[in-house]
Amino acid sequence: MRVLVMFDMPTHTKEDRKNSAKFRKELIKGGFIMLQFSVYVRICKGVASANSHLDRLDLILPEKGNIRALILTEKQFDHMRLLLGKRSKIEEINKPRQLVLF
């Protein structure tokens, strides 16, 4: 499973920029990686783990801004299409590998 977090934060004032940077740092500290600017993703073991990470996000929400989150299966995430440009180095490094359990 993956948790995809998308957000728009105001950056008009110094305090807004500070709050936005703090939110990003907390996402990274929580194991999220940047997929593109203001879009972060984290791999989770299952739905319970994904919901747990979303509950932790509730604790660090800034007062201003819009934050959306999706829980995606690996299959859904793999069907994401990149419509412009090419994969970045970070996307190539973080490509999911097939895991086989016996």
Give φ, ψ of 69 to 5 degrees.
Answer: -140, 145
| pLDDT tens digit sequence for 78-99 | 898 888 777 777 777 666 655 5
Quote the pTM value. 0.79
Say what the pLDDT of residue 83 is: 81
What tokens does 101 get? 């359990």
What class is the 2-84 domain?
A: alpha beta
| Parallel/antiparallel/unpaired status of strands 66-72 and 2-8 | antiparallel
Instruction: Give the annotated binding-site residues for Mg(2+).
Output: 8
| pLDDT tens digit sequence for 8-19 | 999 999 999 999
Instruction: Give the annotated binding-site residues.
Output: 8
Cα(48)–Cα(1) distance, rounded to whole angstroms? 10
**In the chain, what are the domain boundaries?**
2-84
